[in-house]
Structure 1
Amino acid sequence: MEKELIKIFDYARNELGVADREEVHKQGYWHEVFHCWFLSKDNNDNNLILQLRSERKKENPRLYDITAAGHLLANETVQDGVREVSEELGINVTFEELQPLGIIDYCSIQGSYIDNEIANVFLYQCHVPIEEFILQKEEVAGIVQVDFNYFRELWTGSKDEIRVVGYEIKQDGSKELINKLVGRNQFVPHPDGYYKTIIQKIAEKIN
């Protein structure tokens, strides 16, 4: 299997060359990723749409995460990152439909896995019901919605648990409904600063 090559950078975002994905995370090279958060409206309520990562994922399986995200390959631009939406969720979104939330640098270390990301972050105002998403089973096990204000309260410490509602795709292809309380430990451990920055930037778009 051909290895994915990714552009690598120093902390000042000076390009150093390319490396394969395994080496990027072994050595802790800075690299570019694409993050797309979905927001939907239900009457006057704003809901974030989150993915449940597949149990097949090497890192952070079965944790809730950004709606769609992935590495930018060495030959890709930020605009090419929108492919992650169609690949993971099965819906077509153009780059022009996305609202930029900025570039966020952050570091996450889990054992020998070092994730130094230059995250190009976007918001998509979604009008497609989550039941119509076609999930990439190798990447995404399920989709849930959460009230944006509750999500904010979770990451500012006002709440310890929030309710997520959606579904999970089982091995036989059937959908199992999700309606439960989850805590911070059931989300991918991005640094708290990342979540707080995202929440602030999304709140600015809502207001």
Structure 2
Amino acid sequence: MAKEQAFFKNGLMAEGIAIDRDEFDESGYYQGTVHVWLHRKSESTTEVLLQKRAATKPVRPGEFDISAAGHIDEGESPIETAVRETCEELGLVVAPDELELAFVIRKTDLKKRIATVYLYEVDDSFTATFTDGEVESILWTPIDEFKAMTVDPARHLLAEHGNGYYAVLIERLERV
């Protein structure tokens, strides 16, 4: 049986639904996902943390991607998922009220998803620890370089997110 995750239909969360991955695309539902983008201020710019996905990951192996992300489990809120995934993938314990809601977007690049996107500011003392095997390494990227990477993601091994995702993200990051 498939692991129960939070699914959305017509913008409303549908609870208690388990759909096999092979049948998901035809289901009419959207998977609930969370993205957490870590950033830090330096003297002259904002830097964005990219995770390099482990080569063993079935989706986007070896690509640079969101600082921390994952599916919303059944019975879990987006903010609870953000806290869990940030700890699992980067070893960073965050309090829910420290996460800043950036935006919510409907995505159709790989599968149908509704992504709740958060920002979280860290300082220079932050050190990532990789315990779940999903992340190979991290890369701090100045926002201007990150912006340039998003113009041609494939050239920079940056995961594509479609739907103007990066434009909205960069606009939010430039305001922090």
Band the TM-score falls in, shorter-chain normalisation: 0.7 to 0.9
The answer for the alignment partner of 1:166 in structure 2 is none
The SS at the match of 2:101 is: strand
> Where in structure 2 are the equivalents of 1:45-60 lying within 5 Å?
45-60=45-60
Of 11, 14, 35 in structure 2, the residue corresponding to residue 13 of structure 1 is: 11
Shift of 1:66: 0.3
**TM norm structure 1:** 0.75
The SS at the match of 2:112 is: strand
Q: Given the superposition, is the C-alpha separation of residues 126 and 24 from structure 1 closer, same or farther in structure 2, using an over 3 Å criterion?
A: farther
Shift of 1:30: 0.5
Contact kept, 8 Å, 2:36 with 2:69, in 1: the verdict is yes
The answer for the alignment partner of 1:172 in structure 2 is none
Q: Does 1:127 align with 2:123?
A: yes
Q: Given the superposition, is the C-alpha separation of residues 21 and 134 from structure 1 closer, same or farther in structure 2, using an over 3 Å criterion?
A: farther
Q: Given the superposition, is the C-alpha separation of residues 23 and 74 from structure 1 closer, same or farther in structure 2, using an over 3 Å criterion?
A: farther
The higher relative CO (CA closer than 8 Å, separation ≥ 6) is in: 2
> Where in structure 2 are the equivalents of 1:1-207 lying within 5 Å?
3-10=2-9, 12-17=10-15, 18-20=17-19, 22-23=21-22, 25-27=24-26, 29-81=29-81, 82-109=83-110, 115-129=111-125, 132-155=127-150, 157=151, 183-184=155-156, 186-191=157-162, 193-204=164-175, 206=176
Q: Given the superposition, is the C-alpha separation of residues 98 and 105 from structure 1 closer, same or farther in structure 2, using an over 3 Å criterion?
A: same
Gaps of 5+ in 2: none
Equivalenced residues, count: 173
Q: Structure 1 or 2: larger strand share? A: 1
Q: Given the superposition, is the C-alpha separation of residues 189 and 143 from structure 1 closer, same or farther in structure 2, using an over 3 Å criterion?
A: same
Contact kept, 8 Å, 2:49 with 2:139, in 1: the verdict is yes
Q: Given the superposition, is the C-alpha separation of residues 24 and 135 from structure 1 closer, same or farther in structure 2, using an over 3 Å criterion?
A: farther
The SS at the match of 2:37 is: strand
Q: Given the superposition, is the C-alpha separation of residues 54 and 121 from structure 1 closer, same or farther in structure 2, using an over 3 Å criterion?
A: same
The SS at the match of 1:19 is: coil
Gaps of 5+ in 1: 110-114, 162-181
Deviations 1:120-153, CA, capped at 9 Å, x for gaps: 11100011545x2111352111111111122123
**TM norm structure 2:** 0.87
Structure with the greater alpha carbon radius of gyration: 1
Moved more, 18-27 or 142-151: 18-27
User: What is the alpha-carbon distance in structure 1 between the residues aligned to residue 24 and residue 89 of structure 2?
Assistant: 22
Identical-residue share of aligned pairs (%): 25
User: What is the alpha-carbon distance in structure 2 between the residues aligned to residue 137 and residue 31 of structure 1?
Assistant: 22
User: What is the alpha-carbon distance in structure 2 between the residues aligned to residue 66 and residue 24 of structure 1?
Assistant: 26
Aligned partner of 2:90: which letter? L
